[in-house]
Structure 1
Amino acid sequence: MANSKHAHVRYNILDNCFRNKVFTFKELLEYVNIKIADVYPGEGISERTLREDIKLFKDPIKGFGAPLEEMSRTYKYSDANFSIASKPLLPYENYLIDASQQLLQRFENHPKYNKLAEALIKFQDEEDSNRDTSKILFYDHNEEYKGIKHLKPLYLAIQKKQVLQIKFKGFKDATYKTFEFHPHILKQYNRRWFVFGYNKTEERWQHSIPLDERLINFNILEDVEYEDSQKDWEAFFRTMVGVRRTSVEVEKVVLKFYNGREDYFKTKPFIPDFEEFFEEDKQDQIWFMSIINPELIQQILSYGQDVEVLEPEYLKEELKKHANKMYNYYVN
């Protein structure tokens, strides 16, 4: 049986190796140990463990059934489309998922672990549906979103305080641009991830990069001093909706709802620090402090005819412009 210590890390590393390059056994062992040390400093595996892992990859019954040629001195998938990510969980992996869920039951009354428990349930439901059992969960996700592949490498870069060379091409850009980037935090908004940091090439702090097809690739810049952020990110995001800070001025926004939609807003506010009015005639109104940016306008527009902006005047004018443009779409 393969060594179970950091096995999941090894399998992902090997899967990536076999899909992208031809390796000799010696090259493979060296590369895998370098990558393991990135995650578990000072650790690695022996030749015996690697041979057991390769055997598991090839095994069609107890392993992944990977298309690796027998009696070959080099290792690479003969089917370029194969990946262990598309294979069902191995028995020991199912055991780990079940054990994790049982462990979380100890903390089921602690809100700190709610999201982790939810993630495990979602994962288990996907695996059950792959085994011809009924799917129970249907959750909102972006099936076309490819940027998720950047999430873990960027997370590790932030954790290790690594400087990156970013290659980025906007939707309207004729060519890509390259810049030095010091990543600080990751934020999810509207089913999409963004990385914030210091764009040293353009000397711009709190620079945001979407994790999608616009982010072509990035490389670690060795021997470059990392510049950390002193920003209070919690405070930074509490006075804005979304990720674009197009203004530094925080303003009081007052919204009036119709058809009982204020109750819906209160169960799912798009900004955390909203307040209700105490006056009897203002029970359908709320207010909050925020910068005015495109994401705030989009969220207000999502309520359609069931919301009215009362303050500030500038925001009222912006909504009026949007309403007039939409009206012109349908007048003919």
Structure 2
Amino acid sequence: MATNKHAQIRYNTLDKCFRNTGRNYTLDDLLEACNNAILDFDPAAEGIKRRQLFDDIRFMQSEQGWSIELNDELKFGKKKVYRYLDPTFSISQQPLSESDANHLKAALATLSRFKGTPQYDWIEELSLRLEDNFKLKNTDQNIISFEENPYLQGKEHITQLYNAIHYQKVLKITYKSFNNPEPIIFTLHPYHLKQYNNRWFLLGKDERFETLTNLALDRIEKIEETAQKYTPTDIDFEEYFDDVIGVSISEKPLQSVLLKVSPNAIHYIRTKPLHGSQKIRPQEEHFLVELNLIPNYELESCLLSYGENIEVLEPTMLRDNLKTRIEELYKNYKI
């Protein structure tokens, strides 16, 4: 299938021309009709050439397209006329082509990896219907894998929390943190669900606190809807986490973090940046990496995952925090 720009506009235009029994469309006429349709949609477009037109017709005739049949005996003078063999035929009356169905099924298979989300049930059902309608071969191939933990606790809450955010419902949440043996009750205006490091988190507003409350779904014991009036937020969560790694956000200001990175690790850090603010400066025997963000526990854990290949030069507080954690780690292995 041609995947270049304006392909569907060309297919629809050709379909109209092939169905028109009141006019004889030659190749030049089809080319003009397609280019006029493209220009109507996008005045800045350059249009297409004959080669692209031939490719489009071949695709429409293929099984991957709509298996159209053209009347090969029609002539206008010495020129061939392009018209459907069955003038009542139209690609708009056909179901998805096999190619389109396969693309859609692949997309649905990708989405279905998000098990536990509100969308999962209908995605699975639609995938089965596509397979039945188009006789799509199911090879059960695992073409793509996502990092996920099927045993993760808390995923059963995602549907209810998603709906509460969507329908603006205030929730009474019973929550038991790792550090407190007694459950805590939050009356939460839920705003956003976020996944980080294979765990799900809920962000919302409890009116007892000035800042947003961040709850790990695997520590939620009970969720109840309340009749309380919902207070929406104007926070843009596309930008909310820009200044941190992970989900822990404090009122601390942005800081410049300077790291000494060994040549062994720099390729990984260059291809998978630690943070969007990352800047790399080569030195003689190592690299300096600068980050501009709010230090948090997730940043510390990320840096420790690189072991001896990263040294924090500044700020001092972050360096001291890592030093303390490394000393405690050393005690566990000291003989």
Q: Structures share a fold, TM > 0.5?
A: yes
Corresponding residue for 2:220?
215
**161, 171, 180: which one pairs with 1:164?**
171
- For the residue of structure 2 that corresponds to 1:317, the secondary structure is helix
Determine the C-alpha separation between the residues in 1 that align with 2:255 and 2:113.
Answer: 40
Native 8 Å contact 2:277 2:293 kept in 1: no
Determine the C-alpha separation between the residues in 2 that align with 1:197 and 1:122.
Answer: 22
CA drift of 1:154 comes to 1.1
Native 8 Å contact 2:278 2:290 kept in 1: yes
Corresponding residue for 2:16?
none
Cα 1:197–1:298, aligned 2, differ >3 Å: closer, same or farther? same
Cα 1:327–1:211, aligned 2, differ >3 Å: closer, same or farther? same
- For the residue of structure 1 that corresponds to 2:211, the secondary structure is strand
Corresponding residue for 2:103?
102
Cα 1:144–1:258, aligned 2, differ >3 Å: closer, same or farther? same
CA drift of 1:180 comes to 1.0
**231, 241, 247: which one pairs with 1:243?**
247
CA drift of 1:321 comes to 1.3
Cα 1:203–1:148, aligned 2, differ >3 Å: closer, same or farther? same
**228, 251, 257: which one pairs with 2:232?**
228
Corresponding residue for 2:266?
262
CA drift of 1:291 comes to 1.2
Determine the C-alpha separation between the residues in 2 that align with 1:191 and 1:144.
Answer: 11
Query: How far does the alpha carbon of each residue in 1:50-77 deviate from its partner, in whole angstroms, 9 at most, with x for none?
Result: xxxxxxxxxxxxxxxxxxxxxxxxxxxx
**307, 324, 328: which one pairs with 1:304?**
307
Native 8 Å contact 1:162 1:221 kept in 2: yes
CA drift of 1:120 comes to 5.1
Corresponding residue for 1:287?
290
CA drift of 1:270 comes to 3.3
Cα 1:282–1:160, aligned 2, differ >3 Å: closer, same or farther? farther
Corresponding residue for 1:331?
334
Matched, 1:192 2:192: no
CA drift of 1:186 comes to 1.1
CA drift of 1:246 comes to 3.9
Native 8 Å contact 2:253 2:294 kept in 1: yes
Corresponding residue for 1:66?
none
Matched, 1:119 2:126: no
Structure 1 regions of 5+ residues with no counterpart? 1-94, 106-114
Query: How far does the alpha carbon of each residue in 1:271-330 deviate from its partner, in whole angstroms, 9 at most, with x for none?
Result: 2221223x6549722211111211110000000011111221111111111222222222
CA drift of 1:166 comes to 0.9
Q: What does residue range 38-77 of structure 1 map to in structure 2 within 5 Å?
A: none
Report the AA paired with residue 241 of structure 1: I
Determine the C-alpha separation between the residues in 2 that align with 1:100 and 1:162.
Answer: 37
Native 8 Å contact 1:238 1:273 kept in 2: no
- For the residue of structure 1 that corresponds to 2:213, the secondary structure is strand
Corresponding residue for 1:205?
211
Cα 1:210–1:225, aligned 2, differ >3 Å: closer, same or farther? same
Native 8 Å contact 1:186 1:194 kept in 2: yes
Percent identical residues:
28
Native 8 Å contact 2:189 2:231 kept in 1: yes
RMSD of aligned C-alpha atoms? Answer: 3.4
**274, 280, 288: which one pairs with 2:278?**
274
Native 8 Å contact 1:258 1:284 kept in 2: yes
Give the greater-gyration-radius structure (CA): 2
Determine the C-alpha separation between the residues in 1 that align with 2:173 and 2:142.
Answer: 40
Structure 2 regions of 5+ residues with no counterpart? 1-95, 116-122, 132-137
- For the residue of structure 2 that corresponds to 1:260, the secondary structure is helix
Cα 1:171–1:328, aligned 2, differ >3 Å: closer, same or farther? closer
Report the AA paired with residue 326 of structure 1: L
Report the AA paired with residue 157 of structure 2: H
Determine the C-alpha separation between the residues in 2 that align with 1:121 and 1:148.
Answer: 13
CA drift of 1:168 comes to 1.0
Corresponding residue for 1:148?
155
CA drift of 1:101 comes to 4.6
**189, 193, 217: which one pairs with 1:182?**
189
CA drift of 1:247 comes to 4.4
Report the AA paired with residue 333 of structure 2: Y
